[in-house]
Amino acid sequence: MTVAELLATARHRFDAGCAAGAVEPARLALAAVEPDSPHAANIHVALSAIHERLSRYDEAEHHARQAVALTDLPPHGRLRVQALASLAMMARIRSRLDEAEGLYLAALTIGAEDTANLLCGLGIVYKYAGRYDDAERVYREALALIGPDEPASASVWHNLGGIEHSRGRHAEGEPHARRSVELREQTYGSDHPTVAADRAALASLLAGQHRFDEAESLYRQALAVFERVYPADHYDVAVTCNDLGTVMAARGDKAEAFLKNDA
């Protein structure tokens, strides 16, 4: 297979929800290009996203840093933006919030094409920092750029629901989370890990309203997908087991709650 075919295979598997199957073709593509070329930087960005999805954060950050280093000088444009965004995501995941904010702001000065995605990433940083008004502001800017009914706006709706969850305004966040599930299912169908993540987010908002039966059903649907596509120690598996256990405990089923939290 050519480099382009290998990378296309990796991206197809990643988009289909099989991040584990995307690693090898992306690795082979990287081995087949000049290590200091823009092609290598592009593949490093892809590998960073793949490893992040698999909760392999050391590998994800390594590839993000390689991409940033390879795009340090112009003209790289959008590739530089993608590299900075990849590293910003890893800084945010590892709670280096000031660094993440700076990387997103630097990327925003370069590329208008990715503005909405960058604003979403920046909004997550603000949310983690407890800057909820700032987070909502940049999410709303992203939503205006994308359009509220476009499939790509699903991530923004998901994040707006998350802001209301953090504020403790669960009923206000529920319509946002439901919109996210609806739009994402139009793109990926019902059995995709991204849709499962949206369902889990909606479940959290329902649990906050003490609607435990609905929350349990959604958590179980999400967990079934996560356990099928991710390793047992994946972050999303662990968090969803914990959240499901919390719902079971709230309903009084302490035995099953213990099993889920101990999974």
Beta carbons within 8 Å of 231's beta carbon, 6+ residues apart: 20, 54, 237
Give CA angle at 52 (195, 157), nearest 5°: 35
- Mean pLDDT, residues 160-179: 97
- Residue from 194, 250, 247 nearest 222 by CA: 194
Give the pLDDT of residue 254. 54
Distance CA 221, CA 257 (A): 17
C-alpha pair distances (Å), 30 with each of 14, 57, 84, 89, 199: 16, 19, 19, 21, 35
Give the pLDDT of residue 226. 93
pLDDT digits (tens, 9 = 90+) for 47-72: 999 999 999 999 999 999 999 999 98
**Contact indicator for 195, 189 with CB cutoff of 8 Å:** yes
**Contact indicator for 25, 13 with CB cutoff of 8 Å:** yes
Give the pLDDT of residue 258. 44
- Mean pLDDT, residues 24-29: 97
The DSSP output letter for 230 is: S
The DSSP output letter for 65 is: H
**Contact indicator for 17, 5 with CB cutoff of 8 Å:** no
Give the pLDDT of residue 192. 92
3-state percent helix, strand, coil for the chain, nearest multiple of 5:
80, 0, 20
| Burial grade of 244 (CB within 10 A; 0-12, 13-18, 19 or more) | buried
pTM score:
0.85
Give the pLDDT of residue 113. 76
Which pLDDT band holds residue 25 (cuts at 50, 70, 90)? very high
